[in-house]
Amino acid sequence: MDTTDTRQVFKATAFLILTTISIPANIFVFCAFLRTFVIEGKLMTADIILCHLTFVNLLVALTRSIPQTMAAFGYNNMFDDDGCKLNMFSFRIFRGLSISLTCLLSTYQAVLISPATSRLTPLKSKIPQYLKHIIVILYVIYCVSNCNALISAVASFPNNTIPPFTFNLQFCFITYPTYIDFISGGLTKFFSDLLFIVLMAIMSGYILVVLYRHGKRVRSLRSSESSQSGVRAEVKASRAVVTLVTLYCLFFGIDNIIYLYSLTVLRVAILLSDIRVFFATLYTSVCPVVVIITNPKVKIKTRMKKQNGEGQFTGTTTSAL
């Protein structure tokens, strides 16, 4: 087996694992929140954000992980030019929404646990009140700002000659007419993402500081069991949010180090593109797993499925006897 075949095997395996984790996990989490909404008639603010985050992560997996997996198995001609344009347009929208919704989630969690004397306190009522408007605005912003994907994405080139300043995804190509367009488009995307990353990091740092101070205060005071239960719920939710932000920052760092390097070369190596895309989509698999482990509503759904499975097994055994 030569180097190219080995790389294709590793690529196919990696993206197949991502796809088989991210799609079922995101569907499960989304259905768990949907079931909660149907039963209770409402969702908490953080759960609404998580529900949207799960939805956009699912669509990132559908628009990027599946095509990458198929390309790794040799299905490179799955789209025509219009299909590539639609795929890239959709991927960029949902990838942008993924980072902005994660940022919104960390901001809301920081606001939620902030003390009454904090300057963030007024946002405790403002964010839930205007949450629908915020989410709609984010969708509109990313739809408008990514219209250039409808121009730059193509399925193939005449004579299979790939021009300079082109990102090769194997199933689609993103091409830029000039070096200025190539650099400006890349840096605009990088700094817009970096803005959300910095805000996430600040809010996560604030969450950790508040939890540390609160932990010292709780150890020095005796609290009722009910208040301790509420504190534990807030602490678990906050830790889950910090975990998501930390993972996103890690994946973002690797993704964008490679992306910044790719802006310095005329033609981006396929291996680098594959590694970058892998880390750009890895969050879609990790995020629902973290939610399944940490979110009470989703954990209840998981227990119910296990209990139903055990109940069905027990019932069958009894009837057989």
Model's pTM, two decimal places? 0.85
Query: Predicted confidence band at 2 (pLDDT cuts at 50, 70, 90)?
Result: low
Tokens standing for 209?
A: 């500081």
CB atoms within 10 A of CB 163: 12
Which residues sit opposite 112 in a β-bridge?
none
Residue bearing tokens 């300057």: 119
Q: What mean pLDDT do residues 78-87 have?
A: 91
Instruction: Tell how strand 166-168 and strand 153-154 pair up.
Output: unpaired
Q: Contact, 142 vs 96, CB < 8 A?
A: yes
Tens digit of pLDDT for each residue in 114-167? 888 888 888 888 999 999 999 999 999 999 999 888 888 998 888 778 888 888
Using the structure block, give the residue that is written with the tokens 């970096």: 194
Domain borders along the chain are: 3-304
**How confident is the model over 202-223, as pLDDT tens digits?**
999 999 888 888 766 665 554 4
Q: Contacts by 260-266 with C-beta closer than 8 Å and gap 24+?
A: 260/186, 260/190, 262/167, 262/186, 263/182, 263/183, 263/186, 263/187, 266/164, 266/165
Question: Of 49, 136, 65, nearest to 99 (Cα)?
Answer: 49
pLDDT at 286 (0 to 100): 92
pLDDT tens digits, 249-305 = 888 888 888 888 887 776 767 778 788 888 888 999 999 999 998 887 787 766 665
Average of pLDDT values for 4-26?
86
Interval 239-255 mean pLDDT: 88
Q: Which residues pair with 173 in a beta bridge?
A: 154, 168
Taking 70 as the threshold, does the pLDDT of residue 229 lie above it? no
CATH code for residues 3-304 = 1.20.1070.10
Bridge partners, 167 (sequence order):
174
Percent of the chain exceeding pLDDT 90 equals 31
CA 13, 16, 22, 24 dihedral sign is: negative
